[in-house]
Chains A and B, each alone.
Chain A
Amino acid sequence: MQNNVNITNSITRFRQDFAIIANWVKFGSKVLDLGCGDGELLQFLRGALETKGYGVEKDDANLLACIKNGTNVIQMDLEDGLSGFEDQSFNTVILSQTLQAMHNTEEIVLEMLRVGQEIIVTFPNFGYWRNRMQINAGRMPVSKALPYQWYDTPNVHLCTINDFDEFCKNHKIEILERRVITDGEEVSFLPNLLGSLAMYRLKTK
């Protein structure tokens, strides 16, 4: 386990969210990472926690990157749901910073809860004060977490932490844990105002 801590330290300099996800995933468990990109998170979890994992990815270049680094990857579009996956067949299903770009937002969260015993959802908090400042100044927010102009953004369903809390309440989703980060540091005071990235661990009530 000592080694794992070292791996965690080296990678968390860049990705605090990975470290938190690693704390939420059990050793040796089965993980599904939706929108897995080049498989970086799955590789990290595999190295740190010996997880058995699959990634789901739509993009050709990312698929190729996953195959290159030996990550199991299934090419499909999340907008079509998770029909290829059985109920409760994964310990953890992860949707990392992809929720805001989904059209079928509600459906994918419910699908994740169907397939996973627990799910992890992370998204950029639209309620972050820097976003509010830009809106107050009369402009759509552009930042490190939201690096797009209004006309080219893939983000179609941005929400705040309060919005997502409400969403969970209305959909009978239990929030097992919520962590909020800004610039790699955890935020506990006024998270919906001071937090840039929201991270949730959820399960069906």
Chain B
Amino acid sequence: MQENNSIGIVAPQIAHFNAPLELKSGEILPQFDLVYETYGTLNADKSNAVIICHALSGNHHVAGKYHADDKYPGWWDNLIGPNKPLDTNRFFVIGLNNLGGCHGSSGPASINPVTNKPWGSAFPIVTVEDWVNSQARLLDYLGITQLAAVIGGSLGGMQALHWTLAYPERVRYALVIASAPNLTAQNMAFNEVARQAIITDPEFHGGDYYAHGVVPRRGLRIARMLGHITYLSDDAMGEKFGRKLKDTIKYSFDVEFEMESYLRYQGDKFAGEFDANTYLRMTRALDYYDPALEFGGDLSKTLSNTKAQFLVLSFTSDWRFSPARSREIVKALLDNESTVSYAEVTAAHGHDAFLMPDPHYHAILRTYLSNIQVGCNHAE
């Protein structure tokens, strides 16, 4: 079943942009690359495009595999494919790696064309607003005026929300999942600890570790371990590991509990494949996003120009992006008499739930997406 409705073998593409991009910080990226993948076919009137905005550690490889023997498909493969909730028989789906990323889009680890060396610490701090602007440039490049939908979870949900603010005419539907209109102090505090772990790693070298042939692996590993704790609920960790020991108590600081084994495995895996400078920038983008700030904190006023229809979705056990934060978005949309539905999915897995194929969650997405009208289909 899983294999039958897989999108199959996919390949990334690179779009190069020569026109400069002005960033929120005031800095200017004179040129940049975005790596992206597409699934399905853009229809004749280009009305079936859906963009997937990724979260902290995501990338453009959202669905399918590069090679038949890849161990894992893209990170949201359970959602996207023929006859899946986001049905590629109907929709043309775009996944991209955000600016500042480490999977092929311009970022700290990529080569600065001016110096011919890795950007490192010189790569600017990018924001959710910058990402949405760069995504709009990608749409221009693909000849798409309006998205059928923008979908994102967590940090991706912030981008989905921001699309409706920055480009109200270019989005018909926004699916904002397990997200928030800004981060709470507690949420930002986790990010700060993660960044401190990286920055104080002796191999960080002020962000220019590439030149030294090292990576701040220990810091990144700890940052990821911390992240993983916050993505799971207490119950989910209890169910998954409880107080289970690997062997017997040894009165040591080695891996003794199953939970420790899991965290170390996740930390090691991540530190081996992700760039620390990217991690710093992704967490900062989370911290900085606060669209209501320029409206005196009034989210209702902030959302008053949106035209999209919204599905806002949260998970009961998610404490990092709690349902209460999603309800703030819903309230602001209700104040504006926007077209909005809100689902609070009962799920045990905490923030991670948004990536899992919970049947009710996926039924909601499938049903909602199947109601989105797309114009004349391709080659029919």
Contact = CB atoms under 8 A, between A and B. Distances in A.
B343 A75 contact: yes
A64 B344 contact: no
B363 A64 contact: yes
Interface string B320-343: 000000010011001101011111
A71 B330 CA distance: 15
Nearest to B335: A86
Interface stretch (B8-16, B50-58, B364-372): B364-372
A101 to B, nearest CB: 20
A contacts with B: majority SS: mixed
A73 B337 contact: no
A30 interface: yes
A30 B337 CA distance: 9
Q: How large is the interface on B (under 10, 10 to 19, 20 to 34, 35 or more residues)?
A: 20 to 34
Interface size on A, as a range, is 20 to 34
Nearest to A52: B337
B344 A76 contact: yes
B360 A64 contact: yes
Contact of A67 (B330, B334, B337, B368): B368
B368 A84 contact: no
A60 interface: yes
Contact of A74 (B330, B337, B371): B330
Contacts of A68: 367, 371
A63 B364 contact: yes
Interface string A16-43: 0000000000000010000000000000
A89 B335 contact: yes
A123 interface: no
A75 B313 CA distance: 10
A72 B340 contact: yes
Interface string B338-380: 0111111010000000000000100110011001000000000
A128 interface: no
Contacts of A89: 334-335
A72 B341 contact: yes
A66 interface: yes
A138 interface: no
B364 A67 contact: yes
A66 B360 contact: no
Q: Which of B311, B330, B334, B363 has the most CB of A within 10 A?
A: B334
A85 interface: yes
A26 to B, nearest CB: 16
B337 A75 contact: no
B341 A67 contact: yes
Contacts of B360: 60, 64
Nearest to A58: B344
A16 B346 CA distance: 35
Interface in B53-111: none
B85 to A, nearest CB: 12
A147 interface: no
Contacts of B344: 75-76
A86 B346 CA distance: 26
Given A54-B334, A84-B331, A86-B335, A64 B364 contact: yes
Nearest to A65: B367
Q: Name the residue among A54, A86, A89 with the largest chain B CB count within 10 angstroms.
A: A54
Interface of B: 311, 327, 330-331, 334-335, 337, 339-344, 346, 360, 363-364, 367-368, 371
9 closest Cβ pairs, A-B complex? A74-B342, A84-B331, A75-B344, A67-B367, A73-B341, A68-B367, A75-B343, A67-B368, A72-B341
